[in-house]
């Protein structure tokens, strides 16, 4: 048992908390103290007031492993195998032991193919796996993970969680410190579905551990509090109850959606108004981005793309390591990708790129100056500070913000701007559920095809919330594939990267016209309350569909506007 007593550290104030042997998930809002608590539990921080004791011993006296929020900054070796084995080599372990443990860790996490690669040539998600392998190779007594799943696709997240369960089971069965087992695994996460499968859950709020206990007990308490921090099934049930109690089924988001939407849209209100927002980009030319024979390389990996992106919101998904970030770098022409072929910009005067790791964007020493550096006026800066809840941190170093707070800041600055092309690489990673709902509800996404034509490309494997979208793309077999319009049920059925709530709605026979959580809830509500199923309505569009994946060649080089929506 890990015992915390009379702890006061920075924003934390925890009188008493007991963390049992097993897998513990820490959840809560951005800035609530999750990462601070996690670092105290592994001894990364030491509190001057209070105690953190594991099995009668101060945690700083134990071997611990830690995967930080910005794990990319901690990679120091050029080769993946050297990076993973560095703790053992620093401890002067013999070569046979090092080799055995390297192979065991790689096999457990399913990353054997990464061992021969250079660290600069692997994706952010693959780096998260490498960081985890580095943390477990020494068989620590306590392992702390700070949101690595935010950078992983659904299948990889499931594989990693299965591996963690194996690690803990080995640790529980064998008390020796020099086994592959880890008795205490602490996982900070924004994924409530992962938390629901843990042994123990801690919900943080304003530096306090408000609820702690089994997942069932904690999530039931949160449901009673009308909290959005619920696993997908409970979240859908709660939203359906809200719809049943409301005459307006359009407000089918989780309880915080209305407030969240106000926050996001208040941020966009700070943009400078234009006389004619629909035609002020490049003298009224509709923006278009065209890729012809594009080959984007990273090490030995090459991604092929022939595509046309027109005004609207484009969602691009793909497995961890499939090349999403590499393609994003190429489209941004940031010089961070090795690309050959043609990228043509038409009607695009201004473009902006949000990188996967928000820390890369920091250029100033205070939060206030960081916002101003995005070209914001004093009034706009004040509005953003207020609506993002950062007014009291205006003079703080932005690098001291939580990963979620920093991501919110940069995302708000970008969406409240006037770019014709917006490229967002994992924009919702590290955000809490309320923050995701806020930005998903932002009207900039809904206006991208009409009121203010622009191209918004979102590279993501988001599992909880998506904004309005117009077109769905997926990277498969080293090729960018156009699946169809977001209003096309068949395209959504064939979408490997679809969030769990979309899969749930489709399993109920729902016909979806968008990818938002509220849209899925309304569609399920129509079925459950009115007996309206989508099977008859979709019999033509699904006819002949045998469940196999789309042939990418069928879609290559075709603009969404050039295609007829499937009948």
Distance separating alpha carbons of residues 55 and 172, to the nearest angstrom? 13
Q: Is 4 helix (H, G, I), strand (E, B) or coil?
A: strand
Residue that has been written with the tokens 């998600």 in this structure: 125
CB 463 within 8 A of CB 231: no
Q: Quote the strand ranges of 323-478, DSSP E.
A: 338-346, 351-354, 421-425, 455-459, 471-476
pTM: 0.81
User: For the chain, which residues make up each domain, given as ranges?
Assistant: 2-225, 261-486
Task: Please choose, from the candidates 120, 125, 95, the residue with its C-alpha nearest in 3D space to the C-alpha of residue 110.
Answer: 125
Rounded CA-CA distance 213/337 in Å is: 46
Calculate the CA dihedral of residues 299, 294, 335, 84 and round it to 10 degrees: -20
pLDDT at 335: 66
Using CB atoms within 10 Å of the CB of residue 553, give its burial: 0 to 12 exposed, 13 to 18 middle, 19+ buried: exposed
From CA 374, how far away is CA 388, in angstroms rounded? Answer: 16
* DSSP structural state of residue 279: T
CB 263 within 8 A of CB 438: yes
64 CB-side CA count, 13 A: 24
The superfamily CATH assigns to domain 2-225 is P-loop containing nucleotide triphosphate hydrolases (3.40.50.300)
Could you give phi then psi for residue 404, rounded to 5 degrees? -70, -40
Question: Two tokens at 201?
Answer: 């859950």
CB atoms within 10 A of CB 567: 7
What are phi and psi for residue 189, nearest 5 degrees? -150, 150
At 532 the pLDDT is 57
CA distances (Å), origin 127, targets 74, 78, 111:
10, 12, 10
Q: Please report the pLDDT score of residue 120 as a whole number.
A: 86
What is the H or E stretch that residue 239 is in? helix 232-244
State both tokens at 429.
């990673």
- Where the chain has pLDDT below 50, the residues are 172-179, 247, 249-264, 269-283, 535-557, 562-567
What pLDDT, on a 0 to 100 scale, did the predictor assign at position 328?
93
Q: What is the pLDDT of residue 531?
A: 63
Helix (H) or strand (E) holding 297: strand 288-298
Supply the CATH classification number for the domain 261-486: 3.40.50.300
Rounded (5°) CA angle 255-258-261: 130
CA gyration radius for the chain?
Answer: 24
Sheet with strand 301-310: strands edge to edge = 338-346, 288-298, 301-310, 479-485, 471-476, 312-318, 455-459, 421-425, 351-354
Residue from 358, 355, 360 nearest 332 by CA: 355
Q: Any idea how long the chain is?
A: 567
DSSP 62-88: S-EEEE-TTGGGG---SBHHHHHHHHH
Q: What pLDDT is recorded for position 301?
A: 80
Angle at 178 between CA 175 and CA 181, to 5 degrees: 60
DSSP 118: B
């Amino acid at each position: 048992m890990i015992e915390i007593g009379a702890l006061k550290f920075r924003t934390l104030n925890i009188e008493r908390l007991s963390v049992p042997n097993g897998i513990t998930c820490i959840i809560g809002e951005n800035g609530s103290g999750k990462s601070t608590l996690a670092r105290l539990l592994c001894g990364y921080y030491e509190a001057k007031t209070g105690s953190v004791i594991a099995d009668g011993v101060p945690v700083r006296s134990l071997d611990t492993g830690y995967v930080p929020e910005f794990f990319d900054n901690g990679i120091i070796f050029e080769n993946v195998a050297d990076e993973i084995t560095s703790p053992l080599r620093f401890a002067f372990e013999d070569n046979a032991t090092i080799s055995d443990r390297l192979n065991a860790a790689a096999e457990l996490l399913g990353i054997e193919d990464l061992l021969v690669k250079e660290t600069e040539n692997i994706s952010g998600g693959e780096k998260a796996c490498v960081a985890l392998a580095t943390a477990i190779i020494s068989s620590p007594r306590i392992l702390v993970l700070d949101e690595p799943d935010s950078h992983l696709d659904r299948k990889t997240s499931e594989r990693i969680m299965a591996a963690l369960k194996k690690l803990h089971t080995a640790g529980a069965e064998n008390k020796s410190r020099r086994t592959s087992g880890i008795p205490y695994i602490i996982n900070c996460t924004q994924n409530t579905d992962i938390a629901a499968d843990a042994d123990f859950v801690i919900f943080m709020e304003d530096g306090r551990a408000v609820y702690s206990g089994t997942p069932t007990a904690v999530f039931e308490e949160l449901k009673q509090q009308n909290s959005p921090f619920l696993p997908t099934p409970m979240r859908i049930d709660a939203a359906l109850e809200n719809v049943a109690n409301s005459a307006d089924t359009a407000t089918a988001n989780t309880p915080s959606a209305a407030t969240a939407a106000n926050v996001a849209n208040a941020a966009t209100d700070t943009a400078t108004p234009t006389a004619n927002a629909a035609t002020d980009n490049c003298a009224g030319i509709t923006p278009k981005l065209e890729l012809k024979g594009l080959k984007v390389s990273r090490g030995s990996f090459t991604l092929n793309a022939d595509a046309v992106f027109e005004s609207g919101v484009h969602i691009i998904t793909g497995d961890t390591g499939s090349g999403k970030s590499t393609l994003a770098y190429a489209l941004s022409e940031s010089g961070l990708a090795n690309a050959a072929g043609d990228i043509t910009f038409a009607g695009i005067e201004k473009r902006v790129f949000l990188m996967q790791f928000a820390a890369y964007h920091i250029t100033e020493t205070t939060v206030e100056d960081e916002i101003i550096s995005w070209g914001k006026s004093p009034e706009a800066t004040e509005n953003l500070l207020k609506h993002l809840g950062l007014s009291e941190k205006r003079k703080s170093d932005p690098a001291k913000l939580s990963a979620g707070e920093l991501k919110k800041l940069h995302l708000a600055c970008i969406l409240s701007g006037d770019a014709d092309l917006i490229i967002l690489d994992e924009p919702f990673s590290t955000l809490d559920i309320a923050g995701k709902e806020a930005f998903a509800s932002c009207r900039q996404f809904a206006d991208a095809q009409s009121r203010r034509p622009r191209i918004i490309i979102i590279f993501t494997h988001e599992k909880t919330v998506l904004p309005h979208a117009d077109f769905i793309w997926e990277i498969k077999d080293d090729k960018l594939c156009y699946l169809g319009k977001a209003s096309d049920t068949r395209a959504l059925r064939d979408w490997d990267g679809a969030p769990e709530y979309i899969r749930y709605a489709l399993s109920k026979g729902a016909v979806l016209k968008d990818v938002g959580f509220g849209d899925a809830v309304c569609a399920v509500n129509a079925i459950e309350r009115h007996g309206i199923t989508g099977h008859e309505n979709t019999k033509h569009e699904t006819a002949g569909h045998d469940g196999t994946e789309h042939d990418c060649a069928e879609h290559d080089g075709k603009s969404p506007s050039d295609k007829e929506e499937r009948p």
